[in-house]
Amino acid sequence: MKKDIIIVGGGIIGLMSAYSLCRSGRSVTIIDKGDITNGTSFGNAGMLSAFGKNPLSNPGVLLDTLKLMLKGESPVNFHPTLDLNLYKWLWNFAISSNKARLKKTLILFERYGRISLDMYSSMTQDDKMDFHFCQDGLLMIYTEQKSFDKKVRLCRDNTKYEVFTKQKTKEYMPLVNDKIIGSILLKENGHLDPALLMNELKTYLLNKGIEMLLDEEVQRLEYKQNKITKIHTQKMTYEADTFILSTGADDSLSRQVKNNFLMTPAKGYSITFEMKEELKPKTSTLFADLFVAMTPRKNTVRMTSKLELGSANPNIVKKQIDSIYENLALYTHSFEKENIVEWTGFRPLTPDDMPIIGYDENYTNLIHATGLGWLGITFAPAIGKIMSDLITKDKDNKSNLDVLLFSAFYQG
């Protein structure tokens, strides 16, 4: 039987799209090649960081990265590859990192960050989901005087920011040593436990009658003229009125229909462990110059870092894990960790931090929803809502202001 909407990919973007579509009364089937238990949407830091924090593509990023590389503290690794798309991506990243773009990106981040925070809040209150949603700010710890001074100059509005001395920083993050410079609390941000969020959403959607077909990989899209007519998995063939591709960093299906999006998988790591309660950070914390994050959760703490470009290796590389520990050890006292779980995943990263969202140019019933990079959890509710508006109200890209503003399809 023909289905109403098929979503390929049950990461946070697929599930939040299903959530909004379901609330609009639509019938949704989610197909995932895995079992939706441990993908990128599970192992990330869970920071909701849309406010006051620069995007990756910001002026000076290349020089700063180079300096950290020379100091041996860089989170970025580049693996030379024959994939020309990566070099095109790097070129576009370099030209996107300019002041005019930064201004626009910060405004867009606030707009879609606000929508998402409000939706997370209503999911906890109205739908009674429990995913450890906290709106208690993001602490940015600085280890370089120059970058701290530069950020302090921008943080004059004390309703949004609070600048902390070294001493005050220790109240929030008892682990830090005297080598840090100071910190800034970005008050509007928050954090959550992404694995709890994914599990709560899955349960909610199943209770609402959403169909989930797991361990089925969509291998081929079949099309006729300007429509996708069928999709084929290794088990079955399905038909639907509308298809959403939310396959994260895996763009093989969109390539099948001749889309060569500027998106690259950026590998990252997380390390989750138990530690003494009194040593835990009081809120989500980012060592801004090192790109190492620590997020407190109900019973554990999660550390995340690394941005590896050009790697397709899905395995945990011990050298990378060791380097996260080494970088952090420079600015913290040593502490005991128990029940350590190491994890790795790929961010679907675009060069200008803009997501790839909207109807396909050639197929009128195909919608793309990916490219959320390092901010997929932060913006997923807003993206889900845009998907629902596109299908239930607007019907095309030009009628949807959010797609025109935010999608990578329409950036200068």
Ligand X SMILES: Cc1cc2nc3c(=O)[nH]c(=O)nc-3n(C[C@H](O)[C@H](O)[C@H](O)COP(=O)(O)OP(=O)(O)OC[C@H]3O[C@@H](n4cnc5c(N)ncnc54)[C@H](O)[C@@H]3O)c2cc1C
| Separation CA 82–CA 76 (nearest Å) | 19
**Secondary structure class of 191 (helix, strand, coil):** strand
Comparison of 109 and 164: residue with beta carbon closer to ligand X: 109
Tell me how far, at minimum, the Cβ of 114 lies from ligand X, in Å.
Answer: 14
Work out the angle at residue 173's Cα, subtended by the Cα atoms of residues 112 and 190, and round it to the nearest 5 degrees. Answer: 15
21, 28, 47, 138: residue in contact with ligand X (rule CB under 6 A): 47
> What SS3 string covers 64-98?
HHHHHHHHCCCCEEECCCCCHHHHHHHHHHHHHCC
Assess 9 for contact with ligand X (CB under 6 A).
yes
At residue 201, φ and ψ (nearest 5 deg) are -65, -45
Taking CB under 6 A as the criterion, which residues in 257-276 touch ligand X?
268-270
31, 140, 367, 387: residue in contact with ligand X (rule CB under 6 A): 31
| Binding segment (CB under 6 A) for ligand X, from list 7-15, 83-91, 99-107, 163-171 | 7-15
Assess 211 for contact with ligand X (CB under 6 A).
no
Work out the angle at residue 214's Cα, subtended by the Cα atoms of residues 15 and 112, and round it to the nearest 5 degrees. Answer: 15
Taking CB under 6 A as the criterion, which residues in 378-397 touch ligand X?
378
| Separation CA 299–CA 255 (nearest Å) | 42
The 8-class DSSP code of residue 221 comes to E
18, 19, 21, 33: residue in contact with ligand X (rule CB under 6 A): 33
Assess 357 for contact with ligand X (CB under 6 A).
no
Comparison of 345 and 358: residue with beta carbon closer to ligand X: 345
Assess 59 for contact with ligand X (CB under 6 A).
no
Q: Are 398 and 292 in contact (CB under 8 A)?
A: no
18, 19, 39, 56: residue in contact with ligand X (rule CB under 6 A): 39
| Binding segment (CB under 6 A) for ligand X, from list 4-12, 96-104, 121-129, 131-139 | 4-12
7, 12, 292, 391: residue in contact with ligand X (rule CB under 6 A): 12
Where does residue 40 rank: exposed (0-12), middle (13-18), buried (19+ CB within 10 A)? buried
Residues in contact with ligand X by the rule CB under 6 A: 8-14, 31-34, 36, 39-41, 44-47, 217-218, 246-250, 253, 268-270, 304, 345, 347-348, 370, 372-378
